[in-house]
Amino acid sequence: MSRLVMKFGGTSVANIERIRNVARHVERERAAGHDIAVVVSAMAGKTNELVGWCKEASELFDQREYDAVVASGEQVTSGLLALVLQQRGVAARSWQGWQIPILTSGTHGSARIESIDGSAILEGFEARKEVAVIAGFQGLHQKTRRIATLGRGGSDTSAVALAAALGAERCDIYTDVDGVYTTDPRVVPKARRLDRIAFEEMLEMASLGAKVLQVRSVELAMVHKVKTFVRSSFDDPADPRPGTLICGEEDILEQPVVTGIAFSKDEALITLRRVADRPGMAAAIFMPLAEADINVDMIIQVASEDAVATDITFTVPAAELERAEKILHKAQPHIGFASLNGASDVVKISAIGIGMRSHAGVAARAFKALAEKGINIRAITTSEIKFSVLIEAAYTELAVRTLHALYGLDKA
Ligand code: ADP
Ligand code: ASP
Ligand code: MG
């Protein structure tokens, strides 16, 4: 029989009634003749609560214990869905990451899946006609032999990795929207649902802030060519819509210049004033940050007027602002800047589209449109299929809506 992976996010399993609704979706696919592995997230809000408890318990928490705590949300929902399915007469068994096992590497709290042994699940399909209900977001760390979690939103990655490991025909990611939109539909009501989006575009959208899929899940789908759909769990289980297919660009007929707009508030801006204008300065600033694993994204260096000192501005993840400031102050005698200014009231707005490869002036149009709205751009980056601007956070909605309309993405 063909195999299917179905993943349900937090709002889709937020209470027992919704879990019953999930069971109805599972039953439909089973009736259609699939063997099914279901991946579940924790109930909506649960992971945030668990993370909050860790922070309350200990300021500098041990990542292994953090994982022990935050992985528990998915343990609960996997057991509950198995119970609900059994109650409805469907053979089902729950699986934690360590039981399969899903082996992981890397750091606790943001581990990477290394391998999945699908044999126990396949045996359940064959010998017992059993639906496998798998706790998302977690695995067994191959070095520490402890529970490890995959980073926020990691159940998407559990699902796609399982689909690849089980040779599934499809991976359906059920969520609280009916597909991938041209931008976050909660921010722009005129956003349109896309029937298809290319892997590369989805990868950029996710990396640049669209939380609908975890970045790593898109990478895995692309590498392993997993046919992945994003669709709604709130559709009638008897008559659901297909949602959005994430696919190769060769499978998309009409390619607009800009496919989507993403935004991320997870940015902070650091400006160093009057840094000595001589060789080796950039290294003196950015090496200590790199050694501390702090990701620097946009960088602007102003050409100095006097050839003596210059200003350097760059962005780091908002969560790392304090740490970055400390490191730079420590290195101040070596770098020799006059002042350091940190700001986290900024947002990065990005436009993404494969069509940009073959069109010039796409970003320039955005600069003009934003200027007309009185929005000041503080930093810019561009690459082959996207460009990003950093602006004041207060203008987020206005800027996203402006660019969305500018590139003809608004619903008719
Ligand atoms: P789940 O709990 O099911 O994993 P998430 O909250 O992680 O759901 O992801 C779904 C949310 O992603 C939507 O409610 C929507 O607000 C947000 N989102 C952001 N950008 C987009 C986009 N371009 N298309 C669809 N949803 C988006
Ligand atoms: N429950 C986890 C989170 O909230 C994983 C997920 O939902 O994908 O991040
Ligand atoms: Mg999610």
List the domains of the chain with CATH numbers. Answer: 2-250 (3.40.1160.10), 261-406 (3.30.2130.10)
Closest atom of ligand 1 relative to the 205 alpha carbon = 23
Residue 279: is its pLDDT beyond 90? no
Looking at the predicted structure, is the pLDDT value of residue 412 above 80?
no
Mean residue pLDDT across the chain: 96
Residue of 48, 157, 184 to mutate, ligand 1, most atoms within 8 A of C-beta: 184
What is the per-residue pLDDT for 370? Answer: 98
Compute the average pLDDT of residues 210-236. Answer: 97
Question: Per-residue confidence at 250, pLDDT binned at 50, 70, 90?
Answer: very high
pLDDT value of position 26: 98
pLDDT value of residue 321 = 97
Cα of 60 from ligand 2 centre, angstroms: 22
Q: Give the number of the ligand closest to the Cα of residue 154.
A: 2
From 175, 205, 266, give the residue whose CB has the most ligand 1 atoms within 8 Å, as the site to mutate.
175
Q: Is the pLDDT of residue 239 over 90?
A: yes
Q: What tens digit of pLDDT does each residue of 93-102 get?
A: 999 999 999 9
Distance CA 165, CA 140 (A): 16
The model scores a pTM over 0.85: yes
Q: What pLDDT is stored for residue 255 in this prediction?
A: 85
Tell me the CA–centroid distance for residue 40 and ligand 1, in Å.
16
Indicate the pLDDT class of residue 330, thresholds 50, 70 and 90: very high
Specify the higher pLDDT residue, 11 or 255.
Answer: 11
CA of 363 to the centre of ligand 1 (A): 26
**Which residues are near ligand 1 (CB < 6 Å)?**
9-12, 41, 153, 175-177, 180-181, 183-186, 205, 210-212, 260
Q: What is the pLDDT of residue 71?
A: 98
Residue with tokens 């990691």: 154
Asked if residues 40 and 134 have their Cβ atoms less than 8 Å apart, the reply is: yes
Instruction: Quote the pLDDT of residue 59.
Output: 84
Q: Ligand 2: which residue has its CA nearest to atom 8?
A: 153
**Cα-to-centroid distance, 390 and ligand 3 (Å):** 25
Q: Please give the backbone phi and psi of residue 28, each rounded to the nearest 5 degrees, phi first.
A: -60, -45
- Output the CA 123–ligand 2 centroid distance in Å: 28
Look at residue 2 and tell me whether its pLDDT is greater than 80: yes
Task: Write out the two tokens for 117.
Answer: 């042994």
What HEC string does the chain produce? CCEEEEEECHHHHCCHHHHHHHHHHHHHHHHCCCEEEEEECCCCCHHHHHHHHHHHHCCCCCHHHHHHHHCHHHHHHHHHHHHHHHHCCCCEEEECHHHCCEEEECCCCCCEEEEECCHHHHHHHHHHCCEEEEECCEEEECCCCCEEECCCCCHHHHHHHHHHHHCCCEEEEEECCCCCECCCCCCCCCCCECCEEEHHHHHHHHHCCCCCCCHHHHHHHHHHCCCEEEEECCCCCCCCCCCEEEECHHHCCCCCCCCEEEEEEEEEEEEEEEEECCCCHHHHHHHHHHHCCCCCCCEEECCCCCCCEEEEEEEEEHHHHHHHHHHHHHCHHHHCCCEEEEEEEEEEEEEECHHHHHCCCHHHHHHHHHHHCCCCCCEEEEECCEEEEEEEHHHHHHHHHHHHHHCCCCCC
